[in-house]
Structure 1
Amino acid sequence: MKFLFNFFNSQQIRNAAVGSLGIKFFSAFFAFVNSILLARILGVEAFGIYVLAFSILILASVLVSLGLPKLMTRFIPKYEVEQNLGAVKGLLIQALKYVLLASGILGVVAFLIYLIGWNSIDNVLGKTLYFGLLLIPILAMTSISAASLRGLRFILLGQFHDTFLRNLLFCIGILVFYYGGMKLSPISAILLYTIAGVISFLVGLVFLHRKLFQKIKTVKAEYYNNLWLKEATPFTIDSGIQELKSKVITYILAVFGSIEAVALFDVASRGAALVAFTLDGLNTAIAPYISKAFESKNMESLQRIVTKTSRIIFVFALPVVIVFVIGGKALLNFLYGNVYEDSYVPLVILCIGQLVNAATGSVGLVLNMTGYQSTYTKVNFVITMANAVLSIPFVIYLDVLGASIIFSSLLVIQNLVLVLFLNKRLNINSTIFTFR
């Protein structure tokens, strides 16, 4: 671990990176445990229904957040450099207004769908979605509070309630529910997750009150609505596309495959996600520092942060891939049961794609934090459309295996395209390799 401390020159970045990795690790650990518990308790079909409903609700919460978390991570460090607390206050107020408005509109639409033809949806899936509607604004507002804290460089507080605490509370809820003799179903699982989300959101409000609200209480809010709308639009599209890109194969498997295939792919995806958990953790930690370095026109510092980050990510990712390739089948049997053994080959394929993702580093984050979010959005859109179109025949003929092949192939292509664009426009190399 000593090399990790020596890898970053800045004490602030070092503390944020190490702490962020710790929180991400335990958050990923509890998310992994939750998936094991749910997969074993619910069974393949019911677990597939839960996964499908949950992915729809998560996508809805991302769309409702309107790209504002990324906007806040981008602009709060900028306003801090300019000592413009009025703009910070105005941005926070507008963000919460937009999220509540979007959530209200979505709630009305969902209610109309319920009145017109909710019964046409699979009964269990429909009820699970209905009872999970409250989760949508809760997750969106939690992401706003977490992004505000991260923008102010309270990285650990921003992650604590948004990832770790919610997964921990959900895990406790599942265990209490199960060992209390109550029957767990997709509906009760979503309700438990919603309760965990509400508690986590309230904890985040306490953090935000202590770190920000008291500072801006007497400050007059300043609004730059035209600028925020202009900058938030690509973030909104990108956030939706990013989430859709990760979930589109789940939807295609549900339509052209089976609910059981959804469950098998989710198990493989969760295993592969452990390969890149360091990428997510460090991205959260370095985002405000990349933004600050870019705003200060300190490209040397920006390159140093990105290079060191990518190499740490790869060092942590490689052993995970080796473990899954060599012992993945035995691990799946031990953790999930032999009914999930068919997830092994898709797991290996997804791990290879994630290893390339780790090797290319924080390329997407750098583009978002340096004003090239529209380019990132366009590439994401093309990849998502290709994912949706190409995965249909692959799923029809190869089922879960075909889904994993398409997902990993397009992930590799996307990262290579973005690396070349970043190097050409900013002369920044985000990979583990040395070239300029």
Structure 2
Amino acid sequence: MSMTTAAEKIRNFIVGGSALRRHLVRAAAGSLALSLSSKMLMLLTSVLLARWLGAEGYGYYVSSMAVLTLLSIFATIGFPTLVIRLFSSYRAHQKWGLMRGLLERSNQLILVVSIALGGAGAVIISAMSENLAPSYTNCLWWAMAMLPLVALGAIRSALLRGLHFVVLGQLSENLLTPGLFVLFISAWAGLTLSSSLALTPEAAMASRFAAVAISFLVGAWLLVKRLPEEIRSSEPRYEIKEWTRSALPLLFIVGIGIIGSQVNMLMLSGLQSAESAGIYQIATRGGELVAFSLVVVNMAIQPTISKLYSLGEVKKLQRVLTIAARGTLALAVPLAVIMGFFAEPILGTVFGPEFKRGALSLTILCVAQVIAAASGSVGQILYMTGHERDASIGVFVGFAVNITSSLILIPLWDIAGAATASALSIVSCNLVLAFLVRKRTGLNSTAF
């Protein structure tokens, strides 16, 4: 086949064919670009903070961000995933009043809950401040201040993605926030060269707050500009009981998943040291690079899964899932090989000599992420097809494996123990979810 013929076939695949194919290709390409940009910015941020703060100072920063991440999940009370699914379904059936009602109630509830959680967190921090390092205490104060902005930003992102603005829905969190954060901490570090100011963990958190605040305003403006006129002009309708019935299992699923992803670092901080937590966080950043292709695909196909399944177009949906899983695996494998085989020189050269001891952890996490990529978008399929209660089974299995393994392995193997526990959790969760997808929907989520 000539290069011209191959190029023409690629062009025809991208711009030709059905409207669904064109939409998915655009969404995936946009998500890929944003995800790559976000990962590169996050990696740059990790490099800068690790070198400027050291392993201990970086450990205070990432532990505070882990607390913020956990609280933000409970603050959103399961609505972001629900909104993506219902907005796609409601729009397909032109239920504009329900869309407006869901938009209003989700924002109102999340605002109230996030403020309440932030206030409760502030009280707990005050009570524990004498037993915490002053720098860690200050970081936690900034985390509580950020909580409402992060929670409301999550629901705004979900609303845009549910309206099939997949790229715009990710713009603020995946590009603007990390970009501004890099700019702010670099400016702060520059001031340290000409004054007595120092880049401390709490200064990094303050810079993060400024980046999140600006991104929140931009994201809110994007939602207002893209909201369909049919939603604006419709009388709001509410199905509170149905929404609550669906949101609570999603809160459990997402909450358990996030707790599982953060618990290793928090346990390292408590059972070992802040330095171990900081090094482990750097290793997980490498594992996330391998997993980024799955994140991209999930972002792109979430609304499509809901739409095709609600319309009964199962065969078309199966084709979408198979292609997505194979594309995910094709991107994940070469990244895993590079990150796994060259883990020690990468960590030592990029982040500093003290981070080399995270090399084995990085290799372990890379293997687990390849297995996750091969499993496909298992969780998203169950969420978007109304089987969130089944998804909770797989997520809970992974969580239980992670907690049990962490309690046993972290005291024995420190950072490598945390990575092994996380890997066992990822593999067990994905295997159970892949089985449940096949059982409940008849769909094959995997790349095989």
TM-score > 0.5, shorter chain as reference:
yes
Q: Find out whether 1:166 has 2:152 as its counterpart.
A: no
1:94 to 2:109 alignment: no
Task: State the alpha-carbon separation in 2 of the partners of residues 326 and 316 from structure 1.
Answer: 17
More moved, 408-417 vs 275-284: 408-417
Counterpart-to-counterpart distance in 1, 2:130 and 2:186: 31
Q: 2:156 aligns with which of 145, 148, 152?
A: 145
SS at match of 1:180: helix
The Cα shift of 1:214 comes to 4.8
Q: Distance in 2 between matches of 1:221 and 1:162?
A: 28
Paired residues, number: 433
- What whole-Å deviation, never above 9, does each CA across 1:281-336 have from its counterpart, x for those lacking one? 11011000000001001111111111110111111111111111232221112110
Q: Does 1:208 align with 2:223?
A: yes
Measure the CA separation in 2 of the matches of 1:412 and 1:327: 23
Of 221, 229, 232, which residue of structure 2 is paired with 1:217?
A: 232
8 A contact 2:253–2:391 mirrored in 1: yes
CA distance in 2, matches of 1:394, 1:354: 20
Match of 1:311 in 2: 326
Change (3 A) 1:132 1:410: closer
Indicate the larger mover: 118-127 or 289-298. 118-127
Larger displacement relative to structure 2 (149-158 or 424-433) = 424-433
Q: Which residue in 2 is equivalent to 1:426?
A: 441
- Normalising by structure 2, what TM-score? 0.93
Superposed, which structure 2 residues align to 1:57-136 within 5 Å? 57-136=68-147
Paired with 2:332 and 2:150, the residues of 1 have a C-alpha distance of 28
Measured against aligned partners, the alpha-carbon deviations of 1:43-96 in whole angstroms (never above 9, x if no partner) come to 011001111111001111111011111010010011101111111111011011
Question: 2:260 — aligned with what?
Answer: 245
Q: Alpha-carbon deviation of 1:122?
A: 3.0
Q: Note the 1:407-418 alignment, pairs <5 A.
A: 407-418=422-433
Using the alignment, how far apart are the partners of 1:89 and 1:4 within structure 2?
40
Q: 1:214 to 1:177 in 2, by over 3 A?
A: farther
Contact 1:146 1:158 survives alignment (8 Å): yes
SS at match of 1:371: coil
**Aligned partner of 2:370 among 355, 358, 376:** 355
Amino acid at match of 1:193: R
**Secondary structure of 1:134 counterpart:** helix
* Equivalent in the alignment of 1:259: 274
> What SS does the aligned partner of 1:432 have?
coil
Q: CA deviation at 1:124?
A: 1.8
Residue 381, structure 1, aligned to residue 392, structure 2: no
The percent of aligned pairs where both chains have the same amino acid is 31
Deviation at 1:223, TM superposition (A): 0.7
Question: Is this contact kept in 2: 1:103–1:136, CA < 8 A?
Answer: yes
State the partner residue of 2:412.
397
**Bigger shift: 369-378 or 22-31?**
369-378
CA distance in 2: counterparts of 1:319 and 1:147, whole angstroms: 31
Structure 1 pair 360/115, CA: closer, same or farther in 2 (3 Å)?
closer
More deviation, 118-127/107-116? 107-116
Identify which range, 249-258 or 379-388, moves more after superposition: 379-388
SS of corresponding position for 1:297: coil
Structure 1 residue corresponding to 2:214, chosen from 199, 204, 207:
199
1:346 has 2:357 as partner: no
State whether residues 291 and 370 of structure 2, in contact with CA within 8 Å, keep that contact through their aligned partners in structure 1.
Answer: yes
Deviations 1:252-280 (A, max 9, x none): 11121111110111111000100010110
Provide the residue aligned with 1:22 in structure 2: 33
After TM superposition, the score normalised by the length of structure 1 is 0.96
> Over residues 351-370 of structure 1, what are the superposed CA-to-partner deviations in whole Å (9 max), with x where a residue is unaligned?
00001011111011101111
In 1, distance between residues paired with 2:211 and 2:93?
Answer: 37
**What residue identity is the alignment partner of 1:334?**
T
**Residue of structure 1 aligned with 2:24, choices 8, 13, 23:** 13
CA gap of 1:301–1:380, structure 2 versus 1, over 3 A, is: same
Q: Output the CA distance in 2 between the equivalents of 1:99 and 1:352.
A: 37
Structure 1: distance between partners of 2:176 and 2:122:
30
Q: Is contact 2:125–2:140 with CA below 8 Å preserved after alignment? A: no
**Which residue is equivalent to 1:176?**
187
**Distance between the aligned counterparts of 2:69 and 2:44, measured in 1?**
19
Inter-partner Cα distance in structure 1 for 2:128 and 2:272:
24
Task: For 1:316-331, list aligned pairs within 5 A.
Answer: 316-331=331-346
**Residue type matched to 2:443 in 1?**
I
* Pair 190,214 (structure 1): closer, same or farther in 2 beyond 3 Å: farther
Any unmatched runs of 5+ in structure 2?
Answer: 1-5
Q: Do the aligned residues in 1 keep the contact of 2:391 with 2:436 (CA within 8 Å)? A: no
Q: Spell out, residue by residue over 1:145-198, the C-alpha distance to the aligned partner (whole angstroms, 9 max, x if none).
A: 110000000011001112211111111111111112241111111111111111
Name the residue aligned to 2:293: 278
AA in 1 matched with 2:160: L
Q: Which residue of 2 aligns with 1:297?
A: 312
Shift of 1:221: 0.7
